[in-house]
Structure 1
């Protein structure tokens, strides 16, 4: 008798656990509970001490997430122009003037400038910079083929990012 009760309880447990796995793609191929997100950081300054700024995420991300960073480089016909990092500028003679680059952890992205005379670089490149960090969940990793990751607008479109939900971090 106790074997039957144990068997029934095990069966009920398996049914219960089975019902906990939900795939919310609604048959359209889009995983609705896995979303890409964007964090925006304004007033980022690169100061002479190390020309580095740490952009702390509002929450930790997964180790498997992909991170892209874009810098607001200006506007054109009323539209923001976002350039992907790494981004390099050269002197007229072809030598390196400055370069923006980044690395990241689950908790932040460190954006830094490299160059030969960063103290001599115009403050328009060092002060009051705006960056957007795009976090793409690993689920989408195999879906980046064919997406121009250097084009911010293409990334936003490809990963269904709602720009009205950009998280502005101070």
Structure 2
């Protein structure tokens, strides 16, 4: 009987101790105060993929080059890939709609005067598109120099290097970047 009483006493003691938590009766504590909002920061620059069309003329005054400075909304990093395409031609689809034909630079053409190359270089701040030829560039026809349209794509390094993206195919590049033709702004240079 002593064992049963001792066992019963131990169970009752255990139950009574477990109903109390550190001497508190289980009431909720007071709510804390909300923190203060911080000061809003400045808008950052867009470091995502950017695609821009530029239109300009190659002239002797500009040494047969078209210079485009990136606006503040575009930041180019050392690891980014800058691609430049020339609007080479247009065709029609089955609905009679115009379809642009783009070619990645550098692009070499055989013209009546000799070999002509559209080429480019870039920095973190700008793109310079220029003509090179084995003849006097002053002999070029307006169709090779006037109202030329170029598409510049700034591809973040991580987007370019982690896939087998075909840089020669502007449609594949834009699809990879999630950019549609209707979203590409065109800048007309003087």
Length-normalised TM-score, structure 2: 0.64
What does residue 136 of structure 2 align with? 117
Give 1:17's aligned residue.
Answer: none
| 1:11-160 equivalences in 2 (<5 Å) | 35-42=48-55, 44-49=56-61, 50-59=63-72, 60-77=75-92, 78-91=98-111, 96-115=114-133, 116-145=135-164, 147-160=165-178
Instruction: Return 5+ residue gaps in structure 2 as ranges.
Output: 1-45, 93-97
CA deviation string 1:16-71 (max 9, x = no partner): xxxxxxxxxxxxxxxxx9631101112x1111231111011123322221100011
Two-structure CA RMSD over aligned residues (Å): 2.0
Please tell me whether Structure 1 or Structure 2 has the larger radius of gyration of its CA atoms. 2
CA–CA separation in structure 2 for the residues paired with 1:117 and 1:53: 18
Q: Deviations over 1:92-135 (max 9, x none)?
A: 7xx94210000001111000000022111111110111111000
Where do 1:1-20 residues align within 5 Å? none
The runs of 5 or more residues in structure 1 that have no matched partner are 1-32
| Counterpart secondary structure, 1:48 | coil
| CA distance in structure 2 between the partners assigned to 1:96 and 1:127 by the alignment | 19
User: Secondary structure of the residue that 2:173 maps to in structure 1?
Assistant: helix
Contact 1:39 1:134 in 2 (8 A): yes
Q: What CA distance in whole angstroms lies between the structure 2 residues aligned with 1:111 and 1:149? A: 18
Change (3 A) 1:67 1:52: same
Partners in 2 of 1:110 and 1:51 — Cα distance? 10
In the alignment, which residue of structure 2 is the partner of 1:15? none
In 1, Cα distance between the equivalents of 2:126 and 2:158? 20
Classify the secondary structure of the residue corresponding to 2:144: helix
**CA contact under 8 A between 1:46 and 1:126: conserved in structure 2?**
yes
Q: What secondary structure is seen at the aligned counterpart in 2 of 1:140?
A: helix
Shift of residue 161, structure 1, vs aligned partner: 1.6
- Count of residue pairs the alignment pairs up: 134
